[in-house]
Amino acid sequence: MSREYPATPVASVGVIVRRDDGAVLLVRRANPPSQGLWSVPGGRLELGETAAECARREVREECGVECVPTDVFHVVDRIYRNDEGRVQYHYVIVELLAWWSSGEPVAGDDASAVAWVHPTGLNAYDLTPGLEEVIVRMIARSDPV
């Protein structure tokens, strides 16, 4: 299925990876949409893959980090329209909370940069719309595993 001008919405995951010290893993998007903005790792769900499997795979591919997904946290609708109003991208993103288990982040396939960021430092990053609020809410409700 084409990601640009799709016939149906694209099911995806976003992964809010957290370390015990409170830092959250961010990636700078290397490709459209949101190219150049900072977000959480994630990507398209593959046929036959669970959301948790997708989360682990995407974090590994984008960041070289292993994580343990724990639960669904939030669902985001991302619809991007072109200048004529036609839907150019349409993602339904299931945001999962995950805990870092091993590895040091290195930018991989869809990321131009990666960083561990403490919530107090999020305002220094050009984040995808609404991400800071989602991270703040997630931190308020979660405790280390």
Residues 74, 95: contact at Cβ < 8 Å?
yes
pLDDT given for residue 145 in this prediction:
46
pLDDT mean across residues, the chain: 92
Task: Give the global pTM.
Answer: 0.88
Query: For domain 10-141, is the CATH number 3.90.79.10?
Result: yes
pLDDT band (50, 70, 90) for residue 33: confident
pLDDT given for residue 139 in this prediction:
78
For the cut 80, the answer to whether the pLDDT of residue 78 exceeds it is: yes
Cα 39 from Cα 36, distance rounded (Å):
9
Residues in Cβ contact with 129 at an 8 Å cutoff, skipping those fewer than 6 apart = none
Least confident of 23-32, 45-54, 80-89, 127-136: 127-136
For the cut 70, the answer to whether the pLDDT of residue 144 exceeds it is: no
